[in-house]
Amino acid sequence: MNQSFEKAERIRACKNRRHVTLVTAYDYPTGRLLDEAGVDIVLVGDSLGMVVLGFPDTTHVTLDHMLHHVEATARGVKNAMLVGDMPIHSYDTVEQAVQSAKKLFLAGADAVKLEGGAAQAGNIRAIVEAGIPVVGHIGLLPQKVLEEGGYKIKGKSSAEEEALVRDVEAVAEAGACAVVVEGVTPHAARQVTVHSSIPTLGIGSGSHTCDGDVVVIHDLVGAFPWFIPAFVKPRADVAGSMTAAVKEWMEDCYTEPGSISS
């Protein structure tokens, strides 16, 4: 068993034993800080499209973008499982999915994550058989935001809830080691977690409903003040501190004595 699968099995073994923490990172220093803080999973998410690259959503992120940021983050992560998101249109076929996953794996990812439930079972199974661990992603799928006309909470009806349960069972059966459950009602998140044989990692799906939690680092530390999700409690004000430090430095530049003599 390679080291990546050892890490994946370590995460899988957390089911019904302890809470799992997943935090995003997109560069070397952030990855290293999260690793040293002891988080279980570091995710190089395609959320970088918004919080790093300035795109309106994740649909503009390419595989080249992901490879660049996975390589950088991997240099700082030694203990956590490093997961690389598979961006939109990088897994439209089984063959493409395996090739994209291999590229992310070679860039330093221990595992890859792709969006979709039962419909992605074939891709998940093929990637795992190729020797690369997979994290699933069900519920609200950001890569479908344009198709669905916005970010819409899932699991509001019994039919949607049953579909989510089928999704998590299919993802687990296909070989995923964990699954992100995004943007579903708290009741649906609990039902998914009860029926899942692998750890469920919640984001925007209520508190204490899943086996673990996911957070975007910029949201957690207040580094992206222009939009803060309602379900996140910032634990710092990095944006405010950065702005204040720059203004203080500028003021010192203007007022400190000294001049350049000719």
Catalytic residues: 182
Q: Tell whether 147 is in a known binding site.
A: no
CA nearest 84: which of 65, 95, 129? 65
CA distances from 19 to 50, 109, 119 (A): 28, 22, 28
CA distances from 90 to 4, 26, 194 (A): 21, 19, 31
- Those residues whose C-beta lies under 8 Å from the C-beta of residue 211, and which sit 6 or more positions away, are 14, 15, 16, 19, 20, 193, 196, 199, 200, 201
Q: Tell whether 47 is in a known binding site.
A: yes
Q: Tell whether 27 is in a known binding site.
A: no
Fill in the amino acid letter for 216. V
Q: Is 14 exposed, middle or buried (0-12, 13-18, 19+ CB in 10 A)?
A: middle
Q: Tell whether 85 is in a known binding site.
A: yes
Asked if 91 and 66 touch (Cβ cutoff 8 Å), the reply is no
Q: Tell whether 40 is in a known binding site.
A: no
Would residue 150 be called left, alpha or beta, if left means φ above 0 and alpha means ψ between -120 and 50 degrees? left
In angstroms, how far apart are the furthest CA atoms of the chain? 79
Question: How far separated are the first and last CA of the chain, in Å rounded?
Answer: 68
The annotation places the binding site at 46-47, 85, 113, 115
Q: Which residues are annotated as a binding site for 3-methyl-2-oxobutanoate?
A: 46-47, 85, 113
